[in-house]
Amino acid sequence: MIKIGLLGLGTVGSGVFSILEKHAETIKRKVGTDLKIEKVLVKDKDKQRDLDFDDQILTDDIDEIINNKDIDLLVELIGGENPAYNYIIAALNSGKSVVTANKLVIAKYEQEIMGLAREKGVQINYEGSVAGGIPVIRPLKESFAANKIERLYGILNGTTNYILTKMTNEEREFDEVLAEAQSLGYAERDPHSDISGADAAYKISILSSIAFETSIDLNGVYVEGIEGIELEDIKLAEELGYVIKLLAIAKYHQDGLDVRVHPAFISKEHPLALVNDVYNAIYLHGDAVGDVMSYGQGAGRMPTASAVVADIMQAARDIYYQRPEVDNLDSIYNHDLVNISQVENSFYLRLQVKDKPGVLAQITKIFGENQVSLASVIQKHRLSEIVPIVLVTHQVKEENINKSLTAIKGLDDVISIKNLIRVEEL
């Protein structure tokens, strides 16, 4: 029998508890032995819970798990940085394998945690930390192991994808849809981590470090959220043949890795454009396998618990059969991250200008001086003194766009730059 210490009995923890009970027989057959939840750490032992269990298994003292020699496996599902990080380190130090779904801790401390697990000869599995129920970490480590991964795109945050989908399909503004997402429980009361792109940045950082066998400095990952996207941008994207998605991107270049999160125009024809609502997807290109896409529920009680229980089963099997940890994936490369100013993209730019002759000519002159060439221009005539101009550039380095924008902002007839969104040619 393998004994488990479960930290957290919230959304995911209760899902894990249920699956381990419901599928106990199948799990035993597949692992080779019984799995038993020996102790469950919670914050509030007196909280009313919908699960059926002996109250004796609940504790609010981590030492009852860390110091319990009978517990082989710690499953961390409390979330946040601390004490989760400290508990993971303490468990590894005491020779226990660890399963977690904590993207923040893994993204920040991946190398330290992997190194410690290797040193102690135990496992650390974290499939649930990225894209919930969609298998992506193990496929990257195992199924695509024969490939050089060249690029990887993800829609990795369900909240932002839900908001952008509703804005697109129902022509509603950002604030209204965010409020609805919060009332439906798709967005947190404090949605900052999702909306700002931080959540997706943790996840693409984890995927990049595996795909490119390197250590990723989170601070070097360019992150931009969806707060600035207006309904007007969504409608113009549609008119130009695109949809707007919050994309997490990781690309291999000779001179470094291009890892970033930002809203992007993607062709309406691309499979990722069809990933709607709270669904997530990963689209990658390996030199042998070509293009592969995985799609599914990127969060939620049971989808995430599905990934966590599979991780538990793998760790339990290896403990039971006394197989040493065989994850030889180390951060053997020292790839630098490419600064966003050096990344090439096409850009969509929406400006408000005075309705006067010659304004467009002044703008295109500035672009010409900065080697920015235009792919399309939409000038809307409205019965107003201020009119929008929408431009789409050809591929150009971001620093050239930035120089152009500084000069354009200085023009007397330019009222404001409403939005600049990258166009990703997938």
Ligand X SMILES: NC(=O)c1ccc[n+]([C@@H]2O[C@H](COP(=O)([O-])OP(=O)(O)OC[C@H]3O[C@@H](n4cnc5c(N)ncnc54)[C@H](OP(=O)(O)O)[C@@H]3O)[C@@H](O)[C@H]2O)c1
**Least CB distance from residue 80 to ligand X, whole Å?**
7
Half-sphere exposure of 26 (CA within 13 A, CB side): 7
- Burial (0-12, 13-18, 19+ Cβ within 10 Å), 17: buried
Residue with tokens 């992007």: 264
Distance CA 135, CA 132 (A): 8
Query: Which CB atom, from 39 or from 270, has the smaller least distance to ligand X?
Result: 39
Of 9 and 91, nearer to ligand X (C-beta) is 9
Cβ closer to ligand X: 132 or 388?
A: 132
Q: Least distance from C-beta 28 to ligand X, angstroms?
A: 25
Q: How far is the CB of 365 from ligand X (least distance, A)?
A: 50
Nearest approach in angstroms of CB 14 to ligand X is: 8
Under the criterion CB under 6 A, does residue 205 sit at the interface with ligand X? no
Q: Which is nearer to ligand X, 189 or 381 (CB)?
A: 189
With binding defined as CB under 6 A, does residue 13 bind ligand X? yes
5 counts as binding ligand X under rule CB under 6 A: no
Catalytic residue among 203, 245, 251, 403: 203
Question: Which CB, 9 or 92, lies closer to ligand X?
Answer: 9
The residues in 22-51 that bind ligand X, with binding defined as CB under 6 A, are 41-44, 47
Give the Cα separation of 213 and 144 in Å (integer).
13
Identify residues 363-392 at the interface with ligand X (CB under 6 A): none
Interface pick for ligand X out of 4, 99, 250, 299 (rule CB under 6 A): 299
In the complex, minimum distance from the CB of residue 62 to ligand X, in angstroms, rounded to a whole number: 7
Residue 250 Ramachandran class (φ > 0 left, ψ -120 to 50 alpha, else beta): beta
Q: Any idea which residue has 């990127």 for tokens?
A: 298
Contact 6, 98 (CB under 8 A): no
Give SS3 for 168.
helix
Site string for ligand X, 209-248 (x = CB under 6 A): ----------------------------------------
| Binders of ligand X in range 82-101 (CB under 6 A) | 83, 101
Under the binding rule (CB under 6 A), the answer on residue 102 touching ligand X is: yes
Q: Which stretch, 24-32, 74-82, 209-217, 350-358, contacts ligand X (CB under 6 A)? A: 74-82
Structure tokens at 11: 């959304």
Gap between the Cα atoms of 140 and 302, Å rounded:
22
Spatial contact of 296 and 279, defined as CB atoms under 8 Å apart: yes
Give CA separation, 353 vs 375, 414, 416, 424, in Å.
20, 4, 7, 26
Nearer to ligand X, 98 or 338 (CB): 98
Nearer to ligand X, 96 or 403 (CB): 96
State which H helix or E strand residue 295 sits in.
strand 290-297
Residues whose CB is less than 8 angstroms from the CB of residue 356 and which lie 6 or more positions away in sequence, other chains included: 413
| Of the residues 12, 71, 152, 401, which one makes contact with ligand X according to CB under 6 A | 12
Q: At its nearest, how many Å lie between ligand X and the CB of residue 327? A: 21
- Clarify whether 365 is annotated catalytic: no
Mask 118-157, x = binds ligand X (CB under 6 A)? Answer: ----------x---x-------------------------
Tokens of 7: 């930290």
Calpha distance 181→195 (Å, rounded) = 12
Instruction: Dump the DSSP string for 228-274.
Output: T--HHHHHHHHHHTEEEEEEEEEEEETTEEEEEEEEEEEETTSGGGG
In 3D space, the residue among 151, 160, 187 whose CA is nearest the CA of residue 246 turns out to be 160
Instruction: Number of residues interacting with ligand X: please give it, by CB under 6 A.
Output: 23
* Residue of 2, 4, 6, 9 that binds ligand X (CB under 6 A): 9
Q: Which residue has the tokens 């604030």?
A: 175
Instruction: List residues near ligand X by CB under 6 A.
Output: 8-13, 41-44, 47, 77-79, 83, 101-103, 128, 132, 299-300, 304
Q: Enumerate the active-site residues.
A: 203
